[in-house]
Structure 1
Amino acid sequence: MQITLFENIVNFIKEKFPSKDFIPLHEPIFRGNERQYVNETIDSTFVSSVGSFVSQFEEMMCKITGSKYAVAIVNGTSALHMALLLSNVKKGDEVLTQSLTFIATCNAVSYLGASPIFIDVDIDSLGMSPKSLLNYLKNNAEIRKDGYCYNTLSGKRIKACVPMHTFGLPCRIDELLEICQEWNIKLIEDSAESIGSYYKEKHTGSFGEIGVFSFNGNKTITCGGGGALITNNRDLAIKAKHLTTQAKLPHQWAFIHDEIGYNYRMPNLNAALACAQLEQLFEFVENKRGLAKEYSNFFSSINLKYIDEIDQAKANYWLNAILFRNIEERDDFLKFANNNGVMSRPAWELMHKLPMFENSLRADLSNSEWLSDRLVNIPSSVR
């Protein structure tokens, strides 16, 4: 019975990608101006971070997200690091985030000598649960005379909160923002996977003071390696550009730096590829949403749970996700699918189960652990 179920799923996926002998989880597609723009960059010799496509990319990100400012950054992890730095997260501080996330989120927190606190997710959105966040703060936090939020368990300052729009599915970001504002905690949106996703008709990444994106090789929009930081705060945008260019002061010939900086600017070569990809963003998203609809209908017909967008969300469905009944069935399917030419993957290992973060403070993570035992990502490329 189980093998028949797995065969039905694998055969359906193969029907969606009929030209592939082995179907990857998410592969890039280059069918626009990618070669033209990259060649223009090579011909111009401006292949590093100084070049016209870097500025063009930032302008396109502003237009797409509705934000006033965008800063092109070398990758999503660096964008997260910079966002936390700009939010004044310091050594010894704590940052609220999800255990169900990619390691980059927690790595960026660790770069600053801060510690993560893990909050549970909602099962329907896979994103941080406002209920879990509020419950943790009410039971374990207080606002002190200096106006900051402190953890009563550790005595440390809780400086920021980094929810994630998991697999491109928008979370209840407006509720999370309201809670963070009440507790004087900076909200940074980890929108690494959600370019082209909206919640309540507003683009992800644009709710908090800073949002970050990734354009890694497996994302909906890719430039090989790339990231972006968006904000409506002019001072933060200026500071981000300054810090990501080694904190170098403008001068005709002298190399003068006024603080510790970072080599985080996106090269023009990557930006050229990104611009060509962004020109096709809405076409890609509609293509992926069409696949998601077909998946949703199919899995409903065989009584298997498919993770759909929540009410008032419009997801890019970067990665489609399904839920099996238990971890044994999940692992059996993963083995069967991958052995039969269909790449499938479980969710990332939960952060609190990794050796670096196993002693981190955390809320009750029942939803995260339940999902981790059951969730499988299936092929989700633009067709």
Structure 2
Amino acid sequence: MRLYRYIMLLLMVLSSIDAATLKEIIESTLKNNQNIKASMIDSRAKEKIYNSRENIYNPTLNAAISDTQLNIDTREIEVKNRLVGSLKLGVDLYDGGKSSATKRQKSYEYQASKLDAITTKKETILQVVTLFFQTKTAIDSIEVLKEKGTTLKAQYQRVKTKYDINMVTIDEVLKLRSEYETNQYAIEELRYQKEELLETISLLAGRKIKSIDNSTLPNVKNLALKESEHLRSLNLSLKALDENVKIVESAKNVQVKLEDSLNLYSYNDYNENLLADLPQTQNQLNVSLTYRLFDTTTKHQVEAAKLAKLSAKEKVIFAKNQERSTFSLAKRKLKTQQLKINSLKSAVEMGESVYKLVKVKYQNGTVDNITYLDALSKRTFNKALYQQALNEYEIAKANYYFSSGLDYKKVLKGW
């Protein structure tokens, strides 16, 4: 018996060493989660797009070559074969404000994408925290039911012995056996639930999580609501849409462009006496000013862009009100959960006291097995609810932290 206890103690120690802490799981998630990686890659893509628009007035240089061959014999009056190579240097002196608006638009989109990446991190961390404490609830419930199973088994064996010597009826034996088997089934259900939750955590963390420890979230005091990354991103997206309106409207403005073209000519198969003064090089400087007098699409495009901006503005207002409401409710939920824990703690103490009293009476034969099983079930139920309330408090704490706009790094530093 003593050897068995030593073996069980050793197994418990080894299990605790292998158990992952909540901090380790969160750090692994931040490092390995594919959704987080995707959001960061998306942000880098937006940065590249912004960089491509950073120098909006840089000139463009194009090279071209053309070969003209006439099928009929016209060498006496014109060149039959002409090869032309050209270089064209161009710059938009003014494009109606399109380039500068596009540059600002891409800047806002890039800044928004960085905030979206942080939002993805926070949402994933909150998901991991919720799953972690749901797993703890399943584990705690298993332990409570195991304790109940041990008690039921002992009582079953005691009553079975009495039945063998005709001191009790078969219904008492069957009732205890049925209760024990139902309890074992409940344990197996919870074990499956635990494995399912651990598998989901492993998927999010990018590593295999076989067991978890008894971590709790660090306490962060004096929290006040501040603008979240999600809301700031929406505001930046709204600014980007405002710039999009300017981009569409730029089509109605004056466009000024400067182009310098250098052409190099090579001739073949022509009358050199008649066509002796053909140019070998030609340089052409061109300044163009254009203005669109009429089109049927720009007006509708501007209206569509303004409506998109108006829609985004309404979403920003809603998100702002929603964050204020969510934070207020999360704060109240935390206080309510604390009261629930205090209440259930008293219920556990009462259930334990009643069970001990009923157990003595049952063993002395002054109460029946229905009264005993009822007291045992209430004791187990209150214990399970108390453990669940403790874990739900941690989940409520996480929701309170993140709904306040708290930086997740402060939570990690708190451990």
Tell me if TM exceeds 0.5: no
Bigger radius of gyration, 1 or 2?
2
Q: Normalized against structure 2, the TM-score is what?
A: 0.20
Q: Normalized against structure 1, the TM-score is what?
A: 0.21
